[in-house]
Amino acid sequence: MIKSLGILVLSLFIHGICIAQDTSDITKMLEAEIKLAEKNKTEYITATFKTTRLVNGHSLENTAKHVLDVKISHRFGTIIGATGGAYNIFGLDNATMRLGFDYGITNTLMIGIGRSTDYKTFDGFFKWKILRQSKGKISMPVTLSYVPTISYETLNPSDSVLLLDLKRYPSHRLNYSNQLIIGRKFSDGLSLQLMPTIVHRNFPHDDGPHDIYALGLGGRQKLGKRTSFNVEYYYQLQSNRVPGSHDALSIGFDIETGGHVFQLHMTNSQGMTETKFVPGSLNSWGKGEILFGFNISRVFNVGKKH
Amino acid sequence: MYKRILITLNLIILLGSSFKEPLTIYNVQKGLVSFRSDAPLELINPISNELRGIVETQKKEFAFSINIKSFSGFNSAIQKEHFNENYLESNKYPTATFIGKIIEDIDFTKNTIVSVRAKGILTIHGVPQERIIKSELTIRNGVISIRSNFTVLLEDHNIPIPKVVHEKLASEIKVEVNGELKPK
């Protein structure tokens, strides 16, 4: 009798469990459906970096399709040292600038042109995303981009003390760079990239070789939703490096406000194109020969909705 | 004698729990979600066709979900990026959901158009809010069409608006949901 009552209570209990489970059933069903849908869809990872440049060099980001990105960049003289100090208002007197226009033809191909004060140089490049980091149906751990750059120095030899005695053919004014960018967004905040680079200079202005091989390392850590801390370093391989030069090392902050990205940085390199900064700089971080610089990026929509 | 009655009762109860009526599940076949931010300087009106949802007609329960990253139709690529990165934080909170029960009793076997209230938890940006949302149901030959308009206050879901975009982003977002559900 007691036994049977016990079983009765147990049955009621089981019955209760069966009812209670029902309420979460459809939520579980929905979750299963979402998971299935995710598996059958490829999701490309976005916003690996805030803009298309890390500091001096390229990040793996492209401007989106039909978006024009106007970049105004400045590098000042060293804060202390020959081009710095209070007399030169800590480098502000020795400003160089680059005006650049980047444009996205598709979401994986962008082109850009620029003009730098240094040697009155024009530059042009394209950046092609060969692989895109993604998850879901197609899972790709990294983004791979190819960035070739060409630059042309238009400075008249008579304007330069260094070049006065040189016979300059048009080809002497050309420099090239070929770069691969392999990068990954590891988390919402952390992105890292490797940039193997070859620079060929038709007529170097230093004692260095024509060809320079370098390996770039770069990354960012987000500090907030709209700010990030960036590092960029280009290591020149020992076999082909400019004698006496110091590898370009830069740190910077990205600050994003609506359509603008402000990049403020400290670097030892005044050059703002690969052909200029990858061969290093005479300034050394060790001796405190660092300079302040900034990039301002403003994007304009040329095309339709996104 | 008592024993027999008890055993019979037991059997009835156990059978009762196993022989429940089967769940009558409808799920979303086609679904659109759009939202509209109508601010003095800018109108933002993106749309997504990735609405997922299930309605169980016996107990009138429902669960809907939308993939935040699937919205497109922003005024610029950077706006879409900011929407995902800075406002909705779609990596952290990939979906918005509405889960609950329909208040009114409806006969899902009849062809009809009814206005119903759905009471449930609306979760956007990871912040749950209890809401009663009015919807219009059209039932035709076993297909349920849902149409619903409601507003979402960004403040309710802990989405702050920076001062510089006050004129470009409405604090009250109008949402429209359209879905077609068929039996599973």
Tens digit of each residue's pLDDT (9 = 90 or more) over B27-67: 999 999 999 999 999 999 999 999 999 999 989 999 999 99
Would you call B56 an interface residue with chain A, using a CB distance cutoff of 8 Å?
yes
**Residue A262: phi, psi to the nearest 5?**
-100, 125
Region of poorest pLDDT, from A6-20, A165-179, A232-246: A6-20
Whether A306 and B72 lie within 8 Å, measured CB to CB? yes
Non-local CB neighbours of A298 within 8 Å, separated by 6+ positions: A69, A70, A259, A260
- Predicted confidence at residue B169, as pLDDT, reads 94
- Residue range A136-162, pLDDT digits in tens: 999 999 999 999 999 999 888 777 666
How would DSSP label each residue in A222-280? ESSSSEEEEEEEEEEPGGG--TT-B-EEEEEEEEEETTEEEEEEEES----SHHHHTT-
**Res. A237: pLDDT tops 90:** yes
**Res. A7: pLDDT tops 50:** yes
Q: How far apart are the first and last CA of chain A?
A: 73
d(CA A195, CA A213): 11
Q: ipTM of this complex > 0.85?
A: no
Residue A115's DSSP bridge partners are A99, A122
Q: pLDDT higher for A207 or A168? A: A207
Q: Which domains does chain B have, with CATH numbers?
A: 21-183 (2.40.128.110)
Task: Using alpha carbons, list the distances in angstroms from residue B79 to A71, B37, B95.
Answer: 19, 13, 19
Cα torsion for B126, B127, B129, B135, to the nearest 10°? -40
- Residue range A72-90, pLDDT digits in tens: 999 999 998 888 889 999 9
Query: Which of chain B's residues have a Cβ under 8 Å away from the Cβ of A46?
Result: 81, 84
In which residue are the tokens 């209990």 written? A13
d(CA A87, CA A74): 20
Q: Which of residues 167-196 of A touch B (CB under 8 A)?
A: 188
Mean pLDDT over residues B66-72, rounded?
A: 96
Cα torsion for A205, A209, A214, A220, to the nearest 10°? -10
Q: pLDDT higher for B6 or A298? A: A298
The domain defined by A41-301 carries CATH number 1.10.287.10: no
Q: Where are the domains of chain A?
A: 41-301
Residue B124's DSSP bridge partners are B127
**Res. A206: pLDDT tops 90:** no
**Res. B116: pLDDT tops 50:** yes
Q: Which helix (H) or strand (E) holds B4?
A: helix B2-18
**Residue A21: phi, psi to the nearest 5?**
-65, -30
- Predicted confidence at residue A111, as pLDDT, reads 98
Q: Do residues A44 and A134 touch, judged by C-beta distance below 8 A?
A: yes
Mutate to test the interface with A, among B78, B81, B83, B166 (most CBs of A within 10 A): B78
- Binned at pLDDT 50, 70 and 90, residue A18 comes out as very low
pTM (2 decimals)? 0.84
- Predicted confidence at residue A8, as pLDDT, reads 57
In which residue are the tokens 């960049």 written? A73
From A11, A188, A299, residue closest to B14, measured CB to CB: A11
**Res. A14: pLDDT tops 60:** no
How do beta strands A291-301 and B61-67 pair? unpaired
**Res. A22: pLDDT tops 60:** no
- Predicted confidence at residue A65, as pLDDT, reads 93
- Predicted confidence at residue A163, as pLDDT, reads 58
Average pLDDT, chain A: 89
**Res. B21: pLDDT tops 60:** no
Mutate to test the interface with B, among A43, A46, A133 (most CBs of B within 10 A): A46
**Residue B121: phi, psi to the nearest 5?**
-105, 120
- Residue range B140-168, pLDDT digits in tens: 988 999 999 999 999 999 999 988 888 99
Whether B13 and A226 lie within 8 Å, measured CB to CB? no
- Binned at pLDDT 50, 70 and 90, residue B11 comes out as low
In which residue are the tokens 């703002």 written? A272
From B6, B54, B72, residue closest to A4, measured CB to CB: B6
- Binned at pLDDT 50, 70 and 90, residue A21 comes out as very low
Q: Do residues B180 and B30 touch, judged by C-beta distance below 8 A?
A: yes
Q: Which helix (H) or strand (E) holds A211?
A: strand A211-222
